[in-house]
Amino acid sequence: MKTKRKKLIAWFDERIPLRDLVEFMGKKYVPVHRGSVWYYFGGVSLFLFIIQVVTGILLLLYYKGSEQLAWESIQFIMSKVQFGWLIRSVHSWAANLFILSVFIHMFSVFFERSYRKPREITWLTGMLMLFLAMGFGFSGYLLPWNELAFFATKVGTDIAGVLPVIGKPVMIFLRGGEDVTGATLSRFFGFHVAVFPGLFTVLLGIHLFLVQRQGMSEPLGGENSSDRGVMPFFPNFMLRDLLLWLIVLNVLAILAVFFPWELGRKADAFASAPAGIRPEWYFLFMFQTLKFFPPQVLVVDGEVLGILLFGLAGLLWMFVPFWDRKSSRGESNRTVIYVGIFVVIYIIVFTILGWVL
């Protein structure tokens, strides 16, 4: 048995030099310091993405992406297909946990300022994946074609439409016409299961390659990091990673079983928007801000201003490695920390307001 296995390994090693790879992995270390716990959220995000790919493919076996059949096909999955309710609820819950985990990952990287030289590209690919994750959420939300999704999509795409000059063509491109109809559903379905996964996989490949190539980032002002040394990635860190993945899977199962995802009422273009309508929680802080904007600020429409401000803030955030020069030089930069704290507090307060109001 053992010789057989050795022979097999030798067969591969002769063709693809595996030993180099094993040696490389053997030299992979994870720094141990008070912030080490944050390293896990990248892995958790990856795990949740894998769950989404698997459950997404399973849902594709029964889902029908059309105005007449979408809602009915999900009803069929939830009620007739064996364990269909489980797969769909896991997909919905994992989507939410994925966004949460990605946000935690992003903020921990931000506060550790791990985006600094030489990891600017890792940060940029990460931010693009975060935007894509929100795109996944927004497009996937419409696919059950229920009332909430219908109006959320109307509002979301209309927001794109208020942008000056490019707004209207972008809105028509997204909706597949002037209004949210079955054409919108077809487009969103395509984005959700083909365009976004393709882009995401490429970005994820670059992101992971860079993490392997450059190793884990260490906290700024390295003296407090080296005192607790390092931990080998294989097997110490990987086993911890896997244990956490197992816990996440259990949490998912518990959520899916005890809090199955609702289907809601089928979308009707000739019904009023139901009371209490609100977007997914990760859009709430933006939604709430728009609610507070007056209709008109000087000559500009309130929402145009709001959207432009959010766009600008997003861009500034994304390009932080390029304007935060101090961190790249290894100095501490209080401004960045204050900006980060402000953003976290803003998001939390406005999300809560969005829930309560």
Q: Out of 57, 194, 247, 273, name the contact with another protein by CB under 8 A.
A: 273
Residue 9 CB contacts under 8 Å (≥ 6 apart), including other chains: 18
CB of 287 to another protein, least distance (A): 8
Cα 241 to Cα 31, 123, 149, 189, 233: the distances in Å are 15, 21, 35, 33, 10
Site map for another protein, 229-268, x if CB under 8 A? ----------------------------------------
CB of 99 to another protein, least distance (A): 22
User: Of the candidates 353, 291, 332, 343, which has an alpha carbon nearest to the alpha carbon of residue 103?
Assistant: 343
Q: Out of 69, 155, 211, 244, name the contact with another protein by CB under 8 A.
A: 155
Is the distance from CB of 184 to CB of 174 less than 8 angstroms?
yes
Does 159 bind another protein (CB under 8 A)? Our answer is yes
Does 70 bind another protein (CB under 8 A)? Our answer is no
Q: Out of 13, 67, 120, 158, name the contact with another protein by CB under 8 A.
A: 158
Does 269 bind another protein (CB under 8 A)? Our answer is yes
Q: What are phi and psi of 29, to 5 degrees?
A: -125, 150
Does 183 bind another protein (CB under 8 A)? Our answer is yes
| Alpha-carbon span 157 to 289, nearest angstrom | 17
Cα 66 to Cα 63, 89, 137, 268: the distances in Å are 9, 21, 19, 14
Phi-psi region of 331 (alpha: psi -120 to 50; beta: other; left: phi over 0): beta
Which residues in 119-138 contact another protein (CB under 8 A)? Answer: none
Residue with tokens 């935690």: 104
Does 67 bind another protein (CB under 8 A)? Our answer is no
Q: Out of 227, 270, 298, 334, name the contact with another protein by CB under 8 A.
A: 270
- Nearer to another protein (CB atom), residue 258 or residue 270: 270
Is the distance from CB of 184 to CB of 177 less than 8 angstroms?
yes
Does 165 bind another protein (CB under 8 A)? Our answer is no
Does 296 bind another protein (CB under 8 A)? Our answer is yes
Segment interacting with another protein (CB under 8 A) among 13-21, 57-65, 104-112, 283-291: 283-291
Q: Out of 172, 203, 216, 339, name the contact with another protein by CB under 8 A.
A: 172
Does 301 bind another protein (CB under 8 A)? Our answer is yes
| Alpha-carbon span 284 to 95, nearest angstrom | 16
**244: exposed, middle or buried (Cβ count in 10 Å: 0-12, 13-18, 19+):** middle
Does 28 bind another protein (CB under 8 A)? Our answer is no
Does 303 bind another protein (CB under 8 A)? Our answer is yes
